[in-house]
Amino acid sequence: MAEIFIKRYNEKNRNYLQQFTSYMEQYSGVKFHYIQKSPQVPESKALANLNHWAWLFAEFGLAPLHRQGAYGNFSCRKNDNTFFISSSGMVPEQKFSAEKYCLIRYCDKDQLTIEYHGKSPPSSETLMHYLIYQRRPDINVILHGHNTLLLENRKQLNLQQTSIYHSYGTKELATAASCLAEKENFFIIKNHGFVALGKEINATGQHTLDMLKRLIQLCQDRSA
Ligand SMILES: [Zn+2]
We report the CATH number of the domain holding residue 100 as: 3.40.225.10
pLDDT (0 to 100) of residue 20: 35
- With 0-12 CB in 10 A as exposed, 13-18 as middle and 19+ as buried, what is 201? buried
* Structural contact between residues 161 and 176, judged by C-beta atoms closer than 8 angstroms: no
Strands 141-145 and 72-79: antiparallel
Domain that holds residue 134: 2-23+46-223
The string of pLDDT tens digits covering residues 116-129 is 999 999 998 999 99
| 89 lies in some domain | yes
C-alpha 12 – ligand 1 centre gap (Å): 27
Q: What is the pTM of this model?
A: 0.86
pLDDT in tens, 76-90: 999 988 999 999 989
Provide the pLDDT for residue 9.
47
Give me ligand 1 centre to Cα 77, in Å.
19
Q: How far, in Å, from the CA of 3 to the mean position of ligand 1?
A: 26
* C-alpha–C-alpha distance, residues 162 and 10, integer Å: 30
Q: At 86, is the secondary structure helix, strand, or coil?
A: strand
Please state whether beta strands 69-70 and 113-117 pair in parallel, antiparallel, or not at all (unpaired).
Answer: unpaired
Give the Å distance between the CA of 157 and the centre of ligand 1.
Answer: 20
**205 falls within a domain:** yes
Ligand 1 centroid to Cα of residue 156, in Å, is 22
CA 74 to ligand 1 center in whole angstroms = 10
Tell me, in angstroms, the distance from the centre of ligand 1 to residue 127's CA. 12
**pLDDT the model gives residue 22:** 41
The three-state secondary structure class of 223 is: helix
Let me know: does 180 contact 152? Beta carbons within 8 Å. Answer: no
Q: What's the domain count of the chain?
A: 1
Q: Is the residue at 39 inside a domain? A: no
Partner residues linked to 69 by β-bridges: 66
In a domain, 157, yes or no: yes
176 versus 167: which is more confidently predicted? 176
Which helix H or strand E contains 24, and what residues bound it? none
Answer whether residue 35 is part of any domain.
no
26 CA to middle of ligand 1, Å?
Answer: 11
User: Residue 192 C-alpha to ligand 1 middle, in angstroms?
Assistant: 6
Surrounding residues of ion ligand 1, Cβ less than 5 A: 193
**Which of 10-24, 54-68, 187-201: highest mean pLDDT?**
187-201
Residue 58 within any structural domain of the chain? yes
Please name which of 84, 7, 1 lies closest in space to residue 48, comparing C-alpha atoms.
Answer: 84
Separation of CA 224 and ligand 1 centre (Å) = 32
Going from the Cα of 145 to the center of ligand 1, the distance in angstroms, rounded, reads 6
Asked whether residue 160 is domain-assigned, the answer is: yes
